[in-house]
Amino acid sequence: MKTIIYPGTFDPIHNGHINIAERAATLFDKLIFVVADNDQKSSMFTVKERIIMIERATEHINNITVNSTSDLIVNFAKRKKAVALIRGLRHVSDLEFEFQMALMNFHLNPEIVTLLMMPDEKYIHINSTVIKNVSRLHGDISIYVPKSVEECLNNKNK
């Protein structure tokens, strides 16, 4: 069984993330979203809230599960017997950071491969920070996030 890990903060998950997960899930037997539990970052949503949002947003995909970790992602991947990590790549500016992370992860565990996947072009310009900012200012984010995530954002921004 081939397992891939999709790590990130997902604060919140958006349709770009889901688009990548849907396609990656067809290539692997199991995809595990892993929510980063990083106390160095200031997140809008708790880890538990993010896990629930991901579960709701991906319930239509049969081979997805959701976990969290505060450990190195390659250690988590090894425990789960994963063969790869999937990361989203939107712009050339993302490449430098993702390349650096992929090389470090390879150094830490050469058995774990990092795959970079671009989302559908209609999501190439979005990220969680932009979505949170537009939502905070009561802009329409409905084409960028599932309804359940939009509701969570609206509740936080009341």
Under a CB-based contact definition with an 8 Å cutoff, are residues 130 and 124 in contact? no
| Helix/strand/coil percentages in the chain, nearest 5 | 45, 20, 35
Q: Which of 14, 17, 87, 132 is catalytic?
A: 17
Spell out a b/e string for 61-90, using b for 16 or more CB atoms within 10 Å of the CB, else e: eebbebbbbeeebbebbeebebbbbbbbbb
Residue in 105, 120, 146 with CA at minimum distance from that of residue 13:
146
Q: Is 17 a catalytic residue?
A: yes
Spell out a b/e string for 7-30, using b for 16 or more CB atoms within 10 Å of the CB, else e: bbbbbbbbbbbbbbbbebbeebeb
- According to DSSP, the residues that pair with 3 across neighbouring strands are 30
Q: Is 90 a catalytic residue?
A: yes
Q: Which of 43, 68, 128, 135 is catalytic?
A: 128
Q: Which of 41, 60, 107, 138 is catalytic?
A: 41
Q: Which of 78, 80, 90, 156 is catalytic?
A: 90
- Which positions are annotated as active-site residues? 17, 41, 90, 128
